[in-house]
Amino acid sequence: MNGAVIIDKPAGKTSHDVVREVKKILGAKKAGHTGTLDPMATGVLPVCLNEATKLTGFLASQDKEYLATMLLGVTTDTLDIGGKIVSESDKIPAEEEIRALLARLTGKIKQIPPAYSAVKYHGKPLYKWTRKGIFPETAPREAEIYNIIIENISLPTVTFRVVCSKGTYIRTLCSDIGEKLCCGACLSALRRLRSGFFSEDMAVTLNSEENENYEYSGKKSELLKNMLPMAKLMPSLEVIEVEDSFADKIANGWQPSVAMMKTHVLPSLDQGDMIKFINSEGKLIALAEITVAANKLRHLDENYPAAKIVRVFNNISN
């Protein structure tokens, strides 16, 4: 049971709650998600199982798409509607001013992680420090807004769709918008529509509280039916199918040489490209980084390393 299931996270549960529930339903040994959603948020939460947990770091680095609703005129200590109100203002700007500001927000930005977040400070999440009344200073982090589109304005609320990089805090984005508009703002609703390749039309709901007997509730079979095999989890990467002898060498720590890659390499591959090695059954064997462009292989010694293995997988059951 190696792969990923895409869960439509309900409001009120932490991402960790969802991972624990999926792990229990499926009886998996290991499970992990590819990017935290706040308890109030809903939407796409990919959960990787067993060998696929080795891919969480790669999958978490992909861009995200959200549908967010912002409440103008209200600021809170958590930067969302669930927090304690810090200030209120009735000086709500005109719709034209709001549209003009959001139109200028694309590009790289700096964000200070929210005090109530899972970002680690001295080994502990910030929210644990905050709950003790301690507010550590954290350095701004770079994020990028690729696209932002206003879906609806019904003052004092503004609903917008945003495509952004890993590590973008939508709560912080709303707070910063409110500051720029001189009225304050907080996040009032959030749904993740997409996480990299994974979209909401691929997501499965849990609703497992209806029946604690997971084995007979039908939920286990539904999750298994919708599980994505490891070989399909990073569809943008080039695929190289290798014979069993090649796969065995990789499993034993071998780094592909020019001699071996000459018969497998794709002409389009360039230095730095990531690739997937699969076996004849289509199962994921390893991820590798190309160290030599394909058009330069013929000029190098046959023992020269042509690719660097970055992850190896036990492919028996994925």
CB within 8 A of 112, min separation 6: which ones? Answer: 138, 139, 140, 141, 172
CB within 8 A of 201, min separation 6: which ones? Answer: none
SS3 190: strand
- The span from the CA of 156 to the CA of 140, in Å, is 28
Instruction: Scan for tokens 């770079």, then name that residue.
Output: 142
Beta-ladder partners of 238: 275
Q: Is 176 part of the annotated catalytic residue set?
A: no
Catalytic residue among 8, 38, 80, 176: 38
- The span from the CA of 182 to the CA of 305, in Å, is 57
- The span from the CA of 45 to the CA of 200, in Å, is 9
Distances from the Cα of 163 to the Cα of 64, 79, 80, 107, angstroms: 6, 20, 19, 11
**φ, ψ at 61 (rounded to 5°):** -80, -5
Q: Which residues are catalytic?
A: 38
